[in-house]
């Protein structure tokens, strides 16, 4: 096959794969989320098994399932309670937001400022309630499907070795496939495990800071910070911006904040931003690299492009999964001479080694602000 034919084949194959990923996103994205939740559980189980000499892997896996499932349910409860808390003070928040809109209009010499309701919703607020209802309904269905997928992944785990033996009867080929699969699994498990530990550390410090600063609904905002830190680059920036935005529209400002109303709201928001950004920056740039390793083998530009591409294909789930999916692609491409050039382009130093434990170290190169 000549060079032009190979290029044409690559273009057609890439287009077909992207089309399948896009049009099958409702199924594939949900299943991918389930796979990575399964790997998070396996990472917890491995950590528990390595830390304890009296607990075997089966019991460690059960403990991990209970911990992750409990955290999953607890997060949903926190979200529901947080939304309810904001709803109970909706009038106060709306008044404060209308005041900020009016201040912004006066800065630009405009005085006929609209209200929040006029900007976002129709007269009866139908758009708001329809959006919330659709989002909650879709999220509930996806979460149940993800948990079902995870349960079936655990039930099918025991038969994977036997199936692999039947698919690849030649021992050399079977060992090669098993090695590649183990490299990919270990690498992604390590990425997800370290990312979870880092997100939890940032969340705990941010929660303590938000409580000390007097930010309302600090637990809800901390839960948002935990989830957002799984998204490379954009997530950490959003995690630093969300608390000060809520502090800005908070109806009451603590008495220790310097300045007179309404300027004290801006000062308060700036203080919250500085403290939350400090935790994001210091942990993301000093502690996280030590846990991941010193070698950054995935290009930061590739991380940003992967975030955009997977976000377009799969939406928000794609943004959460963009880093581990890109690491997986890099590991697989590095195994074949015909696709190694793609792995080289994805890498930071042009020398991909195809080892998950090494390649994953660069997956979060752009995940800090």
Residues 6 or more apart in contact with residue 22 via CB below 8 angstroms: 313
Res 208: pLDDT:
95
Q: What is the pLDDT of residues 35-85, one digit of tens each?
A: 888 888 887 888 888 887 788 888 888 898 888 888 877 887 887 787 777
- Structure tokens that stand for 137 in this block: 């309904």
pTM value?
A: 0.77
User: What pLDDT was estimated at residue 180?
Assistant: 79
Tell me the C-alpha to C-alpha distance, in Å, between residue 192 and each of 40, 69, 132, 309, 367. Answer: 6, 16, 30, 20, 13
With residue 45 as reference, give the H or E element that holds it: helix 25-51
Question: Per DSSP, what are the bridge partners of residue 298?
Answer: 347
Cα–Cα–Cα angle for 152, 157, 161, rounded to 5 degrees: 145
pLDDT tens, 307-333? 899 988 988 888 888 888 888 888 788
Q: How far apart are CA 60 and CA 83, in angstroms?
A: 34
Q: Nearest 5°: CA angle at 237, between 234 and 238?
A: 85
Tens of pLDDT along the chain (369 residues)? 567 777 778 788 888 888 998 898 888 888 988 888 888 888 788 888 888 778 888 888 889 888 888 887 788 788 778 777 777 777 777 777 777 878 778 778 777 777 766 666 554 444 554 555 555 555 556 777 888 888 888 888 777 777 877 888 888 888 888 887 777 777 777 777 788 888 999 999 999 999 999 888 898 899 889 989 988 888 889 999 999 988 888 887 887 777 666 667 888 889 999 999 999 999 888 887 777 654 446 677 888 888 899 988 988 888 888 888 888 888 788 877 778 888 888 877 677 764 433 433 344 444 444
């Amino acid at each position: 096959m000549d060079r032009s034919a190979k290029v044409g084949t690559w273009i057609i194959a890439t287009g077909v794969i992207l089309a399948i990923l896009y049009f099958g996103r409702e199924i594939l994205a949900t299943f991918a989320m389930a796979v990575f939740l399964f790997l998070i559980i396996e990472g917890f189980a491995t950590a528990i098994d390595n830390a304890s000499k009296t607990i075997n892997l089966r019991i460690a896996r059960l403990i991990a399932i209970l911990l992750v499932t409990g955290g999953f349910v607890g997060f949903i409860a926190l979200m529901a309670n947080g939304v309810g808390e904001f709803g109970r003070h909706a009038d106060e928040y709306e008044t404060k937001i209308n005041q900020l809109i009016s201040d912004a209009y006066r800065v630009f010499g405009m005085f006929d400022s609209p209200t929040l309701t006029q900007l976002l919703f129709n007269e009866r607020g139908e758009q708001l309630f329809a959006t919330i209802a659709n989002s909650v309904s879709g999220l509930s269905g996806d979460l149940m499907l993800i948990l079902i997928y995870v349960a079936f992944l655990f039930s099918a785990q025991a038969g994977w070795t036997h199936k692999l033996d039947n698919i690849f009867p030649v021992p050399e080929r079977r060992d090669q496939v098993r090695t590649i699969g183990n490299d990919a699994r270990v690498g992604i498990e390590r990425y997800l495990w370290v990312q979870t530990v880092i997100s939890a550390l940032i969340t705990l410090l941010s929660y303590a800071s938000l409580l000390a600063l007097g930010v309302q609904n600090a637990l809800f905002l901390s839960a948002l910070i935990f989830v957002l830190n799984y998204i490379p680059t954009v997530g950490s920036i959003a995690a630093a911006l969300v608390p000060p935005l809520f502090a800005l529209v908070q109806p009451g400002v603590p008495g220790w904040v310097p300045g007179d109303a309404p300027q004290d709201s801006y000062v308060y928001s700036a203080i919250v931003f500085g403290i939350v950004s400090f935790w994001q920056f210091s942990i993301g740039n000093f502690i996280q690299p030590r846990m991941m390793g010193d070698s950054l083998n995935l290009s930061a530009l590739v991380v940003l492009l992967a975030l955009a591409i997977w976000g377009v294909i799969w939406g928000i789930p794609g943004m959460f999964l963009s880093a581990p999916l890109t690491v997986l692609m890099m590991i697989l491409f590095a195994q074949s001479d015909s696709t190694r050039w793609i792995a080289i382009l994805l890498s930071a130093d042009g020398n991909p080694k195809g080892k998950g434990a090494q390649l994953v170290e660069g997956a979060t190169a752009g995940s800090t602000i």
